[in-house]
């Protein structure tokens, strides 16, 4: 087994959702889930098949995000994985809809941070073992940072 670190490309102003699924209809189902829960969002989807034609299936409503999702999937080279790139909405707006898709097995991460996927390669192929999402902690929040966090959530409308 060979371990590889694959750096994901997240275009400026976008978020990436990396997940695992198991069926060819994933690409269209992801499209419907995102368009139905975040209709103003721009997005690109790449789903990598793991059998049959073993193609990367593309969907989306933004050609640049679709191209970036495709490039990320090609670099990963892992079957039954999907990459969603999203602008104009946050992952929190679409994650429950994505997790509710019957063929979605799991989500590795949803982030705008620098992201690396830890990939194992064997004679059979490649698979994602985990992700490195952002940077390590620099400390623990104090009272001022608690208040700053709470105000930020209220400013975004996530808390009352």
The tens digit of pLDDT for each residue in 111-150 reads 999 999 999 999 999 999 999 999 999 999 999 999 999 9
Percent of the chain predicted with pLDDT > 90: 96
0.85 exceeded by the pTM? yes
Mind listing the pLDDT tens digit for each residue in 76-97?
Answer: 999 999 999 999 999 999 999 9
Mean pLDDT (whole number) for 31-37: 98
Average pLDDT, the chain: 97
- Beta-bridged to residue 57, according to DSSP, are 47
Neighbours of 60 (CB within 10 A): 25
Q: Set out the domains of the chain in order of their start, with CATH numbers.
A: 2-156 (3.40.1520.10)
pLDDT confidence bin for 156, thresholds 50/70/90: confident
71's CB contacts (< 8 A; 6+ apart) are: 9
Collapsing DSSP to helix, strand or coil, 77 comes out as: coil
**Per-residue tokens: 23:** 């069926």
Cα torsion 95, 96, 102, 106 to 10°: value is 50
158 has pLDDT over 90:
no
């Amino acid at each position: 087994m060979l371990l590889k670190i694959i750096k994901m490309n997240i275009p400026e102003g976008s978020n990436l959702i990396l997940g695992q699924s198991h069926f060819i209809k994933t690409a269209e189902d992801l499209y419907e889930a995102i368009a139905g829960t975040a209709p103003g969002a721009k997005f690109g989807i790449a789903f990598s098949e793991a059998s049959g034609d073993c193609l990367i299936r593309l969907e989306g409503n933004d050609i640049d995000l679709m191209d970036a999702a495709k490039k990320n999937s090609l670099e990963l080279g892992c079957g039954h994985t999907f990459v969603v790139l999203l602008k104009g909405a946050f992952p929190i707006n679409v994650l429950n809809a994505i997790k509710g898709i019957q063929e979605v097995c799991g989500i590795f991460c949803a982030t705008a941070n620098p992201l690396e996927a830890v990939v194992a390669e064997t004679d059979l192929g490649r698979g994602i073992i985990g992700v490195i999402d952002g940077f390590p902690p620099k400390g623990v929040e104090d009272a001022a940072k608690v208040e700053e966090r709470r105000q930020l959530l209220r400013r975004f409308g996530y808390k009352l």
